[in-house]
Structure 1
Amino acid sequence: MNPRTDRAHAPPANCRADPVALLRALLEASSPSGAEAAAAEVAVAALTERGVTSGIDAAGNAVGSVGSGTGPTIMLVGHLDTVPGEIPVREHGGRMYGRGAVDAKGPLAAMISAAGAVATAGFHGRLVVAGVVGEETPESPGAEFLRAGHEPPDALVIGEPSGWSGVVLGYKGRMDVAYRVDVPATHSTNPAPSAAELCALAWEALRPVFGTREGAAFDRPTATLTHLRSDAETATAVLDVRTPPGCDPEVLLADMNDRVPAGEFRLRHAVPAVRAGRADPVVRALTASVRRHGSEPRLKVKTATSDMNTLGRTWRVPMAAYGPGDSHLDHGPDEHLVMAEYLRSIDVLTEAIHGLAAELAAQHRP
């Protein structure tokens, strides 16, 4: 699994091997979805400086690899892009503030730092690190490019905030659904419902399917109305639907259409839910490392979606998500990372990589 290296990069002066300097450099490289080039340059420079062969692939992903290639392949996948909205980068009170500090440049910086530690110690196998583009978009083009262009690794760690002592077992799936209803032009005094009214009725008709978002459960579908535009003749809407494991998007879509009085829902994009078991080798390696660092690991499932969903569609390999940060701060105006947690997560991840490699090698030993 050799990453394509399209260009050579020299590390910038502000991206020393210091993990705190790396995090700051990534945060200062603004990278909303579709404009990740500056952050990719920082990531590749940091990987290169740490002894990891790296470059930028055709999708714009920063990809690096290190190791002998004679043992198992472990892939670490974080993402470069953030939601829009700048937050001035600053360090105060042991915290680093900036857009993407939690989601998910902090986890990516931890992966890059751990890869550097692995490169220094030596690794019997191959460790691949990827900072991908477009994770915050429904299409997730960076992860799709990896999925299509790389052989599945022997194990996969996704860089998303779990808290330094947490491990994420799974994420709900996602359906990007569009709705449209059209009615003939008529006078406003006509008793027939307008397109706007029909759209409101359609949303209300879905309540038995999705309920409310309060206490959103992992094992049932939920929906958020993210876009609405209407006049008397035409109404359009977009729904962000989150689905549990085992949910068939086409079956759910048909149920939605059966319930509305008029108009049609159309599926624009979907990824299935994904969930690892507690006995998964990646989960075991991460939880064992958390325990060695003095805490009881917390296993979690998330009602959001990540590139674990995208890659898990066809990569039937051990996987879990891990990274520093409080996910409640995702996308918010106060997004920040506690530096002590960030530094501890690097140690946890580094030990977990070595432990996972040893377990995978033992499994494949004749």
Structure 2
Amino acid sequence: MSEPTSLLRDLVRLPSVNPRGGPGDGGETAVAEYVRDWLQRHGVQAELHEVLPGRCNVVAVVPGCREKAVLLESHLDTVEVDGMTVPPYDGEVRGGRLYGRGACDAKGPLAAFMLAAAELARGKPPLHTVVLAGVCDEEHEYRGVVHLLQRLRGRAVVGAIVGEPTGLVPAVAHKGVVRYTVRTTGRAGHSSRPEEAVNAISLMAPVLTHLAATPPAVAPHPLLGPATRSVTRIRGGTGPNTIAATCEVDVDRRTLPGEEPDVVWQQDRAELAVLGAELDPPFLIDPALDTPADSAVVSALRRALTALGHPGEVAGMPFGTDASKIARVGVPTVVFGPGSIRDAHSADESVELAEVELAARAVVAAVRGMDVENMAVEEASCG
């Protein structure tokens, strides 16, 4: 069995389902410990950082000629395994693909970054120091990347590659999200005398009709298309013979680069207040990503892919990632990795092993290819 296959299979065999705000079961930390030990066996120093009780990040460093760093970041946690049609933790290999929860999102990208870090540590020191981070809690409240950025404060980071399943396409843009709860309030009563009550569910009906018929009033993004607004959950009533006093719906508003989350919420609140609805403050905010395609890290990755015989065109992705938080602190960031988002979170999640290997080679070439004008002189002085 090849090293990429055995590495990814080992990662998939370690359950690391995000506890969604509950007490962690140690799964993320078990993966972090495996990553640390594997990297150390391959000559890369790594350590654990506790983010929440029993939930850790792992951070490794490959020293370069410069202290300025390139960040490779991916996540340790997965979504739940309910309804899977393949064994979630076997790491079964069929037809050149490895199956299991997390194989695609995002242990495949994580494995590629680990292989890249080991390769960079074996050869001549890269021009930039490389920081590899595997973080917890990406699938819920992204507290792992927030903790990582706090630890990196004061270190100059010239670019970042965030590991997610992009089909080996450099993704320079993705949507953000604002999630909030909308509420209508009526007056409870017996269902045999509805005329003496005010049905909050009925009051919600025009709100739902409006949300379905009225897209956000913002121009589409060239790589991402339109902003969207979707109702994802509805709750109302207390029993089959009681007129509902309250009704609530959760709204998922996907934002575009340039939209500020708080402004979006304020606009939606004013818009829906006309229909008699109230909005709670957002329970989740995640900014959008929009990295210039000519930034150094993106250009280096595109050149690396082209040299490997793979297309280097950039694209946008509809889903959110840790990249937006990294970019928010001023680090040019691109999302990249093996696998398709269509396979992520799916009942038969899998990733093509050849893509994992190609992703690792592309990352090595991209790291070594940054700042090509000064590379020869500085690498020679670095030895």
- Tell whether 2:330 aligns with 1:328: no
- Tell whether 2:103 aligns with 1:101: yes
Paired letter, 1:43: V
Give the Å deviation of 1:226.
Answer: 2.6
Question: SS state of the match for residue 190, structure 1?
Answer: helix
Paired letter, 2:250: V
* TM-score relative to the length of structure 1: 0.87
Provide structure 2 residue ranges, at least 5 long, that are not aligned to the other structure: 20-26, 238-243
% identity of equivalent residues:
30
Quick one: which of 118, 133, 137 aligns to 1:134? 137
Provide structure 1 residue ranges, at least 5 long, that are not aligned to the other structure: 1-15
Aligned to 1:223: 229
Give the Å deviation of 1:236.
Answer: 2.0
Quick one: which of 145, 154, 159 aligns to 1:155? 159
Aligned length: 344
Equivalent-residue separation in structure 2 for 1:355 and 1:50 (angstroms): 22
Give the Å deviation of 1:298.
Answer: 3.1
Q: Deviations over 1:38-95 (max 9, x none)?
A: 2112211221122111111021101111114634311100001111116422101111
Work out whether residues 17 and 50 of structure 1, in 8 Å CA contact, stay in contact via their aligned partners in 2.
Answer: no
Aligned to 1:90: 92
Question: SS state of the match for residue 105, structure 2?
Answer: helix
Q: Deviations over 1:108-143 (max 9, x none)?
A: 110010000000013243111001111111x20000
Give the Å deviation of 1:359.
Answer: 5.6
Counterparts of 1:201-350 in structure 2, within 5 Å, are: 201-210=206-215, 218-231=224-237, 232-260=244-272, 261-266=275-280, 267-314=282-329, 316-350=330-364
Superposition CA RMSD, Å: 2.5
Work out whether residues 76 and 135 of structure 2, in 8 Å CA contact, stay in contact via their aligned partners in 1.
Answer: yes
Give the Å deviation of 1:283.
Answer: 1.1
Work out whether residues 301 and 363 of structure 2, in 8 Å CA contact, stay in contact via their aligned partners in 1.
Answer: yes
Equivalent-residue separation in structure 2 for 1:357 and 1:47 (angstroms): 26
Structure-2 change in CA distance of 1:21 and 1:184 (3 Å)? same
Structure-2 change in CA distance of 1:146 and 1:343 (3 Å)? same
Work out whether residues 274 and 308 of structure 1, in 8 Å CA contact, stay in contact via their aligned partners in 2.
Answer: yes
Work out whether residues 74 and 155 of structure 1, in 8 Å CA contact, stay in contact via their aligned partners in 2.
Answer: yes
Aligned to 1:351: 365
Give the Å deviation of 1:209.
Answer: 4.1
Equivalent-residue separation in structure 2 for 1:194 and 1:183 (angstroms): 5
Quick one: which of 170, 178, 181 aligns to 2:181? 178
Equivalent-residue separation in structure 2 for 1:357 and 1:108 (angstroms): 25
Paired letter, 1:53: Q
Work out whether residues 65 and 378 of structure 2, in 8 Å CA contact, stay in contact via their aligned partners in 1.
Answer: no
Structure-2 change in CA distance of 1:282 and 1:234 (3 Å)? same
Give the Å deviation of 1:147.
Answer: 1.7
Structure-2 change in CA distance of 1:282 and 1:209 (3 Å)? farther
Give the Å deviation of 1:207.
Answer: 3.2
Tell me which structure has the larger Cα radius of gyration: 2
Question: SS state of the match for residue 76, structure 1?
Answer: strand
Question: SS state of the match for residue 199, structure 1?
Answer: helix
Equivalent-residue separation in structure 1 for 2:361 and 2:335 (angstroms): 16
Counterparts of 1:24-103 in structure 2, within 5 Å, are: 24-34=9-19, 35-59=27-51, 60-68=56-64, 70-85=66-81, 87-88=86-87, 89-103=91-105
- Tell whether 2:216 aligns with 1:194: no
Aligned to 1:8: none
Structure-2 change in CA distance of 1:92 and 1:219 (3 Å)? closer
Give the Å deviation of 1:198.
Answer: 2.3
Structure-2 change in CA distance of 1:244 and 1:307 (3 Å)? same
- Tell whether 2:125 aligns with 1:125: no
Paired letter, 1:92: R
* TM-score relative to the length of structure 2: 0.83
- Tell whether 2:3 aligns with 1:18: yes
Equivalent-residue separation in structure 2 for 1:74 and 1:49 (angstroms): 22
Structure-2 change in CA distance of 1:229 and 1:361 (3 Å)? farther
Equivalent-residue separation in structure 2 for 1:109 and 1:153 (angstroms): 22
- Runs of 4+ residues over 4 Å off in structure 1: 357-365
Paired letter, 2:204: C
Work out whether residues 324 and 342 of structure 1, in 8 Å CA contact, stay in contact via their aligned partners in 2.
Answer: yes
Equivalent-residue separation in structure 2 for 1:361 and 1:71 (angstroms): 14
Equivalent-residue separation in structure 1 for 2:212 and 2:188 (angstroms): 29
Give the Å deviation of 1:358.
Answer: 4.4
Paired letter, 1:150: L
Paired letter, 2:6: A
Equivalent-residue separation in structure 2 for 1:352 and 1:256 (angstroms): 42
Give the Å deviation of 1:361.
Answer: 5.9
Work out whether residues 73 and 162 of structure 2, in 8 Å CA contact, stay in contact via their aligned partners in 1.
Answer: yes
Aligned to 2:241: none
